[in-house]
Chains A and B, each alone.
Chain A
Amino acid sequence: MLHTIPLHYFLIVGTLMFFIGVAGFIIRRNLITILMSVELMLNAVNINFLAVNRYLYPHHLEGHFFTLFIVAIAAAEASIAIALIINIYRRFSTIDVDQVSDMKY
């Protein structure tokens, strides 16, 4: 049943997700939203890995392994990012990324 969906459908979905993530990362001001955008980008990559692995090398598992790695790393990254955001909030009383611009020339 899966074979009825061609590979490029998956790739289109992945690409859209990735660029939505990029756009969110650049445009949104809220740090939590930016974090979510990053997750979107990571998951876009995950979709690509899985789809390509399934369609091109069905007897290999590297794509799956990579995906699991990325999920684990994303979890760690999210915990660190949230810790950072909490600290930023304590320091600046805001999580608006525009206000957090002390590190400049």
Chain B
Amino acid sequence: MISFDYTLLIPVLPLLMFLTLGIGGHRLKPLMAGLLGSAAMGVVTVLSYLTAIQYFFVGGGMGADGYVALIPFQFTWLAFTDTLRITLGVMLDPISVMMLVVISTVSLMVHIYSLGYMKGEKGFQRFYAFLSLFSFSMLGLVLATNIFQMYIFWELVGVSSFLLIGFYYRKPSAIAASKKAFIVTRFADFGFLLGILILSYYTGTFDFGILTQPETSPVASMAGVSFMGLSVVSWAMVLVFMGGAGKSAMFPLHIWLPDAMEGPTPVSALIHAATMVVAGVYLVARLFVVYHFWAADIQEVIAWVGAFTSLFAAVIAITQHDIKRVLAFSTLSQIGYMMLALGVSGYGGAEGTGYMAAMFHLFTHAMFKALLFLGAGSVIHAVHSNLMTEMGGLRKYMPVTHITFLIACLTISGVPFLSGFFSKDEILVAAFEHSKVLFAIEFLVAGLTAFYMFRLYFNVFWGQERHYHHTPHESPWVMTVPLMVLAFASVFSGYLPFTHLVSPDRLPFEVHLHWGIAIPSVLIGLAGIGLAWVLYKRPSRVPDRMAAAMGGFYTTVYHKFYIDEVYLFVTRRVLFNLVSRPISWFDRHVVDAFMNALANVTNGVSDRIKGLQSGQLQMYAATFAAGVIGLVLLALYYLGSA
């Protein structure tokens, strides 16, 4: 038996680092703080890889009946009843071990990259403290043994996301974006909490191990109960999904993610591309058994939400000019893919392709999207602008960034034998098995993805050279090395034997490349690339004319379908006018008025009678004597007559 006791260190080290840098960071030199944080993250990465190797490849995780969930560490934190107790612990199963690898790899790369990107920024130590806090929360989230522990860390990643988006706290737009992100996800987490409460009320447990047993799960006992035409399980699971949709920025809760790009670019790479935003996918995968067996209607909803979001975001991405926003919408679109894959997945054997594909795509997407963001950061670092219109012809000045960015674009477009090709193909296969409509949507999105990524690529690295303030230069090696590492991962992570590692029933299965689906999807990807080549490789007026020809539709898409405006309308006009204003009127004119009236009456009465307190001692004595005499007379009168 292999011991996994050291896995406790994986979340604890970043926590210690957060406390060290948070409390004592300002006494350290900025570079020291950065190196310290990176070194701790390096140790965590080594431990995560060790865990993965021992769990998957040495046989530490393989039981008689497929992979087992190991719990190397656990203690009871709050014990309510014998069955309802909240524990904190570390759970290792295929998806959590896989997430450890993703998070530690991307986090380490971002730590190293930030040494160069954030150099000379005010609050460098604070930045590393927050990065450590985020890493701690995210690792704790994936290692959670029960849904309540997950919820705690879920909120912690929300807080660290808030802190990092608002890192440039002097910039009003960054403050607004951080508040928006926090409020929107917090609103979604409200649903998550309700879902947890409903689930635990009926099942009496928080434990993932108990909840996700297909045969013996206590969820089965609540199957008969229904509320307003929907079973209670479905209610609970749709509320839980609401939390996941908020964190993963699924439509209609996606509005915070594009604005979150106000944070420093490495943060966008770590939190808003690779790790935190896939927490929702991870949550659905974690509770997949419950969704699949007892809330199949909600699973269908997840599939459609995912499909819609991926199409919706891909269309918007085509029109955006800010490179980080293009990437943000691309992230939305890719997460939509993962949600869709989970939504269409079955349970046993090859039926579980969708589940496997979602996790596979999560893994490959984390690598190439982090690479895209870090590459974009490198470009922004060189030209000091986020806008595509102020870039062009950069391939000559930044060769490393150019090549790695190209690799990432090819990967996300699904060019054969790069990692994105394999994972996206599995998703399309799973979608095809389930529903032709969903497949058609995702097929279209694959083409759109290739198009908008290469529009970005050609605009930045080819096209017309702009007038730069100073000649753009390649970034220092601390920034290019992470790019190269991630490019390597983007190319080769597709060869990981995911079907042997991750499946809903935790048994290895075989799946073969489905050429009938792979070839058309590659072709549409190439078509997208070709179209972008024609339109954007050389400076031309065609794209502008096409945009003008589309008129109102283009404007609508450019403004992100006015979803933000709809939210503003709903909150400002509807909620504020119909709910908040009447309530505030009631508060001011009824509640406050009552209290004011009490105070006024007291005041008026005391004004009238304060003359009695004259300070004349003998006046008091006389009153007192008169009172006593009066009382005696009264007593005599009544007692005498009785």
Contacts and interface: CB of A to CB of B under 8 A. Distances in A.
B613 A26 contact: no
Contact of B613 (A22, A27, A104): A104
B640 interface: no
B610 A25 contact: no
A29 B615 CA distance: 14
Contacts of B613: 104-105
Contacts of A102: 615
A95 to B, nearest CB: 12
Contact of B618 (A25, A104, A105): A25
A98 B615 CA distance: 9
Nearest to B607: A105
Contacts of B625: 22, 26
Contacts of B622: 26
A72 to B, nearest CB: 24
B617 interface: yes
Interface string A19-30: 000100111010
B614 interface: yes
Interface string A84-99: 0000000000000110
A101 B615 contact: yes
A25 B614 contact: no
Q: At the interface, is chain A mostly helix, strand, loop or mixed?
A: loop
B611 interface: yes
Contacts of A101: 614-617
A105 B614 CA distance: 7
B546 interface: no
Contacts of B616: 97-98, 101
A98 B621 CA distance: 13
A29 B621 CA distance: 13
Interface in B611-633: 611, 613-618, 621-622, 625
B621 A103 contact: no
A102 B616 CA distance: 9
A16 to B, nearest CB: 16
A23 B616 CA distance: 16
Contacts of A98: 616, 618
Interface residues of B, number: 11
Interface in A61-105: 97-98, 100-105
Interface string B585-626: 000000000000000000000000011011111100110010
Contacts of B610: 105
Nearest to B617: A97
Interface residues on A, range: 10 to 19
Contacts of A105: 610-611, 613-614
Contacts of A22: 625
Contacts of A97: 616-618
A104 B611 CA distance: 9
Nearest to A25: B621
Nearest to B609: A105
Interface string B118-133: 0000000000000000
Contacts of B618: 25-27, 29, 34, 97-98
Contacts of A25: 618, 621
B617 A100 contact: yes
A34 B616 CA distance: 14
Nearest to A28: B618
A38 B263 CA distance: 82
Interface in A1-55: 22, 25-27, 29, 34
A27 B621 CA distance: 10
Contacts of B615: 100-104
A44 to B, nearest CB: 14
Contacts of B617: 97, 100-101
Nearest to A98: B616
A21 B625 CA distance: 12
Contacts of A104: 613-615
A11 to B, nearest CB: 16
Nearest to A19: B625
Q: Which of B611, B614, B618 has the most CB of A within 10 A?
A: B618
A22 B613 CA distance: 21
B615 to A, nearest CB: 3
A60 B581 CA distance: 79
Nearest to A101: B615
B20 to A, nearest CB: 61
A22 B618 CA distance: 10
Interface in B130-180: none
Q: Which of A26, A27, A29, A97 has the most CB of B within 10 A?
A: A26
Contacts of B614: 101, 104-105
15 contacts: A22-B625, A25-B618, A26-B621, A26-B622, A97-B616, A98-B616, A101-B614, A101-B616, A101-B617, A103-B615, A104-B613, A104-B614, A104-B615, A105-B613, A105-B614
Interface of A: 22, 25-27, 29, 34, 97-98, 100-105
Interface of B: 610-611, 613-618, 621-622, 625
List of 4 A-B pairs having minimum Cβ-Cβ separation, nearest first: A104-B615, A101-B615, A105-B610, A26-B622
Given A97-B617, A101-B614, A101-B617, 19 more contacts: A22-B625, A26-B618, A26-B621, A26-B622, A26-B625, A27-B618, A29-B618, A34-B618, A97-B616, A97-B618, A98-B616, A100-B615, A101-B616, A103-B615, A104-B613, A104-B614, A105-B611, A105-B613, A105-B614
